[in-house]
Structure 1
Amino acid sequence: MTSLDEIRRAPVATAASGHHLAIELTETLKLAVPIALTQLGQIAMMTTDLALIGRLGDEAVAAAALASSVFFITFTFGMGLVSAVAPLAAQAFGARNPRMVRRSLRVGLWAALLISLPLMALPLYGEQILLTLGQAPATARRAQEYLLGLAWGIAPALWFLAIRGFMGAVNRPEPGLWITLAAIPANAVLVYLLIHGEWGLPRLELFGAGLATTMINFGMFLAGLWFAHGRRPFKKYHVLGRIWRIDWLLMRQLVVIGAPISISFLLEYGLFAAAALLMGLISTTALAAHQIALQVTAILFMVPFGIGIAATVRVGHAVGRGDAPAVKRAGLVATTLGIVLVSSLTLAVILARFAIARFFLGEGMESGGVVIELTATLLMVGATFFVADGIQTVAAGALRGMNDTRIPLLFAAISYWLIGFSAAYGLAFWTGLGAVGVWIGLSCGTALYALLLVLRFRRLAGHLERARMVAVN
């Protein structure tokens, strides 16, 4: 039987719970917005590069596209590893352990350097790789020019990513956004000058474009390091203290957390690459429509990606404090926020799908109308994919805040390849759905992955809550 005191306390508890949720939402947004804008800034730089390279002709664009694929696969592996800096530093911040915060960044910088050295081999031998994959010799040769400029930028790009993880973990992600915003016009000017040889500089064309990107990456890293070392509130962490020492014990922990993230990223991006190959088997029209729909996906992805990193930090803070209810609350708020924002953006894409297709293709060519129609259809079919992709990104981020990355890797393998690819292939070629079938398969695999990640987070958060109750009793 409920006592009078319990009845009186119930509204107070509800109000307190609502207050905590409001605070959590505010803190998540403070982290997510600058991170998402920073990622959109990165896309803006890539788009600028492509637009400037386009002035060199169609063959240069094709070479740059191939080179970017080789480079992106390489960088993705390092990116997953270095992204483990964020949960390690966030947990240390929540536990009020500034020394561990510093160690987390330091080991991330060392990991970025050590992993970048072997990773550079792939772009430096890009021409041979592309020839092995059956690409035209002339295009492969020009792609190698671009890669020779890009390869040296892997280490500074990863260093900057580690610094951004540290900044987000201590609730100050804004400098990463400021640096990226400053880099966008600087990148455009430098790429233009080195491509065309203006202002007395040599005309380097594709090599110049890659070299300019590398120089900008070094500049962004140095700017980030300046903030992290010499500006408040980062200065108190003394991030360069004993920087010459490699912390092998923490390095092992970073690899244990980060390596599954890297492989998960490769599984996901590998699925998209495989989907593009399937589209190529269907028709050129299908491939063109698929690439446009994927570009829209990449832009939409930046919003849940920012929320996912914020979820990593907020969950990591709660884990560091040993606050089980806050762990659950952080995951709930981040996931709900992701669903709301991605659903809103998806609705906007559905309503504007024909306008989006025309923006990329125009209407001058007769065949363009067919591609526009198919692109609009894929964007409509992809609505469920966009939402599911947003949920999985946020849920994966929340799990990383708990250092849980190995089971999600297993989920990725099952969802993306056993279910997603099989469904995409079967629906495309066995049922006659073609390009639409590929996107339905992508949606099925991604939806399953999102569901498994959400259930995994709820299970782990529930374990923490029960452990806390046992400890209290």
Structure 2
Amino acid sequence: MILSQYTKEFKYNWQLAAPVMLGMLGHTFVSFVDNIMVGQLGTAELAAVSLGNSFMFIAMSIGIGFSTAITPLTAEADSAKNKEDGKSAFKHGLVLCTILGILLFLMIYFSKPLMYLMKQPVEVVDLALPYLDLVAFSLIPLIIFQAFKQFSDGMSMTKYPMYATIIGNVINIVLNYLFIFGKFGFPEYGIVGAAYGTLISRFVMLWYLWYLLKKKDKSRYFVTNIKLFVLDKLMLRKIVNLGTPSAMQMFFEVGIFTSAVWLSGLLGKNPQAANQIALNLSSMTFMVASGLSVAAMVRVGNQKGLHKYYELRRIAFSLFLLGTILALFFGLLFLAFHEYLPRIYVDFDDVINYEDNMEVVSIAAKLLLAAAVFQISDSIQVVVLGALRGLQDVKIPTILTFISYWLVGFPISFYFGTEAYYASFGIWMGLIAGLTTASILLYIRFNYLTKKLIAQKETNNGTT
């Protein structure tokens, strides 16, 4: 009977989270397609995409993390049926995301020389630089798209960003095929062709999502007639205060995975390519948990607006349970197919690169065993983090994520991720430690806050 109080929420949780999952998987699928197609060119090209995307992941984590401030504010306004507050939250978030997208592009563009100072393989860096130019520019439409997406999620209109992402993915796959390999008379750009596909598809995604929201009665008011230059300092400050810690939370987590790319580069191009394969596969399962995280943010934000704290806690725990069940399934999947999944990324008919490809697959298979282990902790930490954002509690979780990933996880990766110890697997041991620590600390924080809210409400009811 007690368990059914949580499982009865699974259907609605899934209905809300599934479109978000598919939308987020779409972002990862762009990388998945890029990796598979580029992997046919050789291990150096695959490592170059990995190195270029490592810079992108850092920038994206800041932009996407910051944009999440829009969701709980919109969800709270929606549950209170306050259109003015909802439109204000979206408008100010849109302005800030646009500015941030431009700044992140400039940051990546001017940080490219750092690649030569990071002791990465020279052939990999030479290939990565032109790829990064175009992909970095795609940050601008991507972060603006995130503002629209987070607004849609806050309004519980989660399927429309999914539609836009699907359209973007189809365009990306077609353009990749044409530009990477020079098919049907198109120029053969190699890995730069993958960057062209990503850039164009992200502009299309942004336009299509705006078009969909403009057509819907529920959202038309919010996304039309926006006075972008009439701004309220209080709302700007509110979004900055919510968005900045959220951006830092995501930055700390993505940062440790990015450090894994760089540490792998110190071991050589093959370990770096293998790391990219394992990272790409595990990021797909992470996007499923991230969908539940958004559902937690929306549902907790709604219950907070209604001051129903018992319901808030019950709904949040139903999401934690669903996330754990899905994580167990993915963990078993990685265990069962860890030797087969990496083979998708390389061309075994390539006689010249055959030995390199075999080494890459062997290393990636071991890393997927580590990925299988951290599925549960990775799922718990991101879903709980979503619930905390729904409570608009962001500052303490930021400190907790920093402790978990950079005081616990990174030192382990750095120390054991050398040839003297466990090489690539040692790097991923640090990821396991960081994610496990984060899941425990963030859960303790959520448990404390929700019990405190319930106690305060009971006290207030007693005095009245």
- Fold match by TM threshold 0.5: yes
Structure 2 CA distance for partners of 1:374 and 1:203, relative to 1, 3 Å = closer
* Residues 1:219 and 2:208 aligned together: no
| Aligned Cα root-mean-square deviation (Å) | 3.1
Structure 2 CA distance for partners of 1:403 and 1:298, relative to 1, 3 Å = same
Per the TM alignment, residue 312 of structure 1 is displaced from its structure 2 partner at its CA by: 0.6
Higher alpha-carbon Rg: 1
SS in 1 for 2:288: helix
Aligned partner letter, 1:470: T
- Within-5 A mapping of 1:75-154: 75-135=60-120, 140-154=125-139
Structure 2 CA distance for partners of 1:439 and 1:148, relative to 1, 3 Å = closer
Aligned partner letter, 1:259: T
| C-alpha contact 1:88 1:104 (8 A) present in aligned 2 | yes
Query: Which residue of 1 is the match for residue 442 of structure 2?
Result: 453
Query: Which residue of 1 is the match for residue 394 of structure 2?
Result: 405
Query: Which residue of 2 is the match for residue 6 of structure 1?
Result: none
| C-alpha contact 2:335 2:368 (8 A) present in aligned 1 | yes
Per the TM alignment, residue 396 of structure 1 is displaced from its structure 2 partner at its CA by: 0.5
Structure 2 CA distance for partners of 1:380 and 1:209, relative to 1, 3 Å = closer
Separation (CA, whole Å) in 1 of partners of 2:196 and 2:402: 36
| C-alpha contact 1:102 1:237 (8 A) present in aligned 2 | yes
Aligned partner letter, 1:303: V
| C-alpha contact 1:105 1:239 (8 A) present in aligned 2 | no
Aligned partner letter, 1:38: G
| C-alpha contact 2:43 2:357 (8 A) present in aligned 1 | no
Per the TM alignment, residue 470 of structure 1 is displaced from its structure 2 partner at its CA by: 1.5
Query: Which residue of 1 is the match for residue 337 of structure 2?
Result: 352
Per the TM alignment, residue 86 of structure 1 is displaced from its structure 2 partner at its CA by: 1.0
Match of 1:34 among 7, 19, 23: 19
Aligned partner letter, 2:405: Y
Query: Which residue of 2 is the match for residue 472 of structure 1?
Result: 461
Aligned partner letter, 1:459: Y
Separation (CA, whole Å) in 2 of partners of 1:293 and 1:150: 21
Query: Which residue of 2 is the match for residue 388 of structure 1?
Result: 377
* Residues 1:332 and 2:317 aligned together: yes
Per the TM alignment, residue 263 of structure 1 is displaced from its structure 2 partner at its CA by: 1.7
| C-alpha contact 1:148 1:207 (8 A) present in aligned 2 | no
Structure 2 CA distance for partners of 1:421 and 1:353, relative to 1, 3 Å = same
| C-alpha contact 1:339 1:390 (8 A) present in aligned 2 | yes
Per the TM alignment, residue 203 of structure 1 is displaced from its structure 2 partner at its CA by: 6.2
| C-alpha contact 2:28 2:280 (8 A) present in aligned 1 | no
| C-alpha contact 2:179 2:187 (8 A) present in aligned 1 | yes
Query: Which residue of 1 is the match for residue 9 of structure 2?
Result: 24
Separation (CA, whole Å) in 1 of partners of 2:192 and 2:341: 32
Per the TM alignment, residue 51 of structure 1 is displaced from its structure 2 partner at its CA by: 4.1
Q: After alignment, is 213-222 or 285-294 more displaced?
A: 285-294
Query: Which residue of 1 is the match for residue 304 of structure 2?
Result: 319
Query: Which residue of 1 is the match for residue 165 of structure 2?
Result: 180
Q: After alignment, is 448-457 or 277-286 more displaced?
A: 277-286
Q: After alignment, is 149-158 or 51-60 more displaced?
A: 51-60
Per the TM alignment, residue 178 of structure 1 is displaced from its structure 2 partner at its CA by: 1.3
Per the TM alignment, residue 349 of structure 1 is displaced from its structure 2 partner at its CA by: 1.6
Per the TM alignment, residue 336 of structure 1 is displaced from its structure 2 partner at its CA by: 0.8
Per the TM alignment, residue 33 of structure 1 is displaced from its structure 2 partner at its CA by: 0.8
Separation (CA, whole Å) in 2 of partners of 1:285 and 1:53: 14
| C-alpha contact 1:127 1:140 (8 A) present in aligned 2 | no
| C-alpha contact 1:149 1:208 (8 A) present in aligned 2 | no
Query: Which residue of 2 is the match for residue 416 of structure 1?
Result: 405
Separation (CA, whole Å) in 2 of partners of 1:281 and 1:131: 12
Q: After alignment, is 381-390 or 110-119 more displaced?
A: 381-390
Per the TM alignment, residue 138 of structure 1 is displaced from its structure 2 partner at its CA by: 6.4
Structure 2 CA distance for partners of 1:280 and 1:401, relative to 1, 3 Å = same
Per the TM alignment, residue 401 of structure 1 is displaced from its structure 2 partner at its CA by: 0.6
Q: Deviations over 1:349-381 (max 9, x none)?
A: 212222224444687856766665554444334
Query: Which residue of 1 is the match for residue 51 of structure 2?
Result: 66
Structure 2 CA distance for partners of 1:368 and 1:116, relative to 1, 3 Å = closer
Structure 2 CA distance for partners of 1:426 and 1:392, relative to 1, 3 Å = same
Structure 1 alignment gaps of length 5 or more: 1-13
SS in 2 for 1:172: coil
Separation (CA, whole Å) in 2 of partners of 1:216 and 1:254: 28
Q: After alignment, is 195-204 or 126-135 more displaced?
A: 195-204
Per the TM alignment, residue 225 of structure 1 is displaced from its structure 2 partner at its CA by: 1.0
Structure 2 CA distance for partners of 1:48 and 1:74, relative to 1, 3 Å = same
Per the TM alignment, residue 18 of structure 1 is displaced from its structure 2 partner at its CA by: 5.0
Separation (CA, whole Å) in 1 of partners of 2:285 and 2:362: 21
Q: Deviations over 1:79-104 (max 9, x none)?
A: 11112111111121122212211112
| C-alpha contact 1:378 1:439 (8 A) present in aligned 2 | yes
Per the TM alignment, residue 204 of structure 1 is displaced from its structure 2 partner at its CA by: 5.7
Aligned partner letter, 1:87: P
SS in 2 for 1:233: helix
Structure 2 CA distance for partners of 1:422 and 1:45, relative to 1, 3 Å = closer
**Larger RCO: Structure 1 or Structure 2 (Cα < 8 Å, ≥ 6 residues apart)?**
2
Residues paired across the two proteins, number: 458
Structure 2 alignment gaps of length 5 or more: none
- Within-5 A mapping of 1:257-406: 257-279=242-264, 287=272, 289-360=274-345, 375-406=364-395
| TM-score in terms of structure 1 length | 0.86
Aligned partner letter, 1:392: Q
| TM-score in terms of structure 2 length | 0.88
| C-alpha contact 1:77 1:266 (8 A) present in aligned 2 | yes
Aligned partner letter, 1:170: M
* Residues 1:254 and 2:234 aligned together: no
Structure 2 CA distance for partners of 1:296 and 1:61, relative to 1, 3 Å = closer
Per the TM alignment, residue 422 of structure 1 is displaced from its structure 2 partner at its CA by: 2.5
Aligned partner letter, 1:254: I
Per the TM alignment, residue 242 of structure 1 is displaced from its structure 2 partner at its CA by: 2.7
| C-alpha contact 1:275 1:438 (8 A) present in aligned 2 | yes
Structure 2 CA distance for partners of 1:466 and 1:446, relative to 1, 3 Å = same
- Within-5 A mapping of 1:424-439: 424-427=413-416, 432-439=421-428
Q: After alignment, is 319-328 or 353-362 more displaced?
A: 353-362
Aligned partner letter, 1:131: Y
